[in-house]
Amino acid sequence: MKTVLITGVSRGIGKALAQRFLAEGYMVIGASETGSVDYSAVNLKVLELDLTSDNSINKCAEQIAKQNPKIDILVNCAGVLKDNDDTKLVIEKLRETLEVNLIGTADFTEHVVAMMNKGGHIVNVSSQAGSLEDIEAFTHTHAPLRYPAYKISKCALNMYTRTLALRLKYEDERGIVVSSIHPGWVRTDMGGDEAPTTPEEAANDIYELAISHPETGQFWYKGKKYPW
C-alpha cells in the first residue's frame, strides 16, 4: 500500500484530496491545525500541525517518523489568505502569510524529505497568483491589485519548488520529483462561493499530477506547464 502525506486535510481542497486518495486505496497521513477532521477511514491517520510553530512542526515530523513510513507522495496543501481585500501591502499580514505558505511549509517539507520513498513526488499547491509572467493578465481578469501578500507568498513557494527540485536532482539518488500546481479558482472558504471549480475537481487535478512522474521543478495547471 502506498502512502501519501497531505497537509490541510480538515477542509477544502485538502479534505477532498485526502478522500480521493483514500478511495484509491492509499494510506493517508493527514495534518490539520487541530489534529482532527470530520471524516474517518481505516487507512487515515490525522496529526496536529501548526505551520507557524517550530515545536508543532518538529512534533508532527517526529510522530510521522515513529510510524516508520516510506512516503510516496507529499502534498503541501495547507495555506492562508490574510489580505483578500487589501490592495496595499500590509507588512504584518505578509509576515503571517509567509509563516504558513512559505516558511512553515518549507520547514515541514525539509523534515519529511528524508522519509520519502524512491521515485517519490512532492507537490506544492501554489496559485496562478504566484506567477510572475502571468501577473498582469491575472490582475486584469481576477482580483485586480488585491492580496499582494498572498501573491508574494505563492511566488516564493514556487521558487522553493525550483530550488528543492534542483537540489534533489543533483544531490539525491532517489529520483524524487518536486512540482508546483495551480488548482484553479476553487469554491472554498478562501476562494469564495463564486469560484467555478469545486474542491473535488481541484483535488482530481492534484491527484493526477501527484501519482505521475513528470519533469521535476515545473509549475502545472490541468496537466500542462504553467508560466512561472
The domains found in the chain, sorted by start residue, are 3-225 (3.40.50.720)
219 touches 132 (CB < 8 A) = no
Q: pLDDT by residue (tens digit) across 13-69?
A: 999 999 999 999 999 999 999 999 999 999 999 999 999 999 999 999 999 999 888
Q: Which residue has the cell 513528470?
A: 214
Q: Which residues contact 98 (CB under 8 A, 6 or more apart)?
A: 149, 152, 153, 156
* pTM summary value: 0.95
Residues of the chain with pLDDT under 50: none
Strands (E), the chain: 3-7, 27-32, 44-48, 71-76, 116-125, 177-181, 218-221, 224-225
C-alpha–C-alpha distance, residues 192 and 178, integer Å? 29
Provide the grid cell at 134: 502571468
H or E segment and range at residue 93: helix 91-98
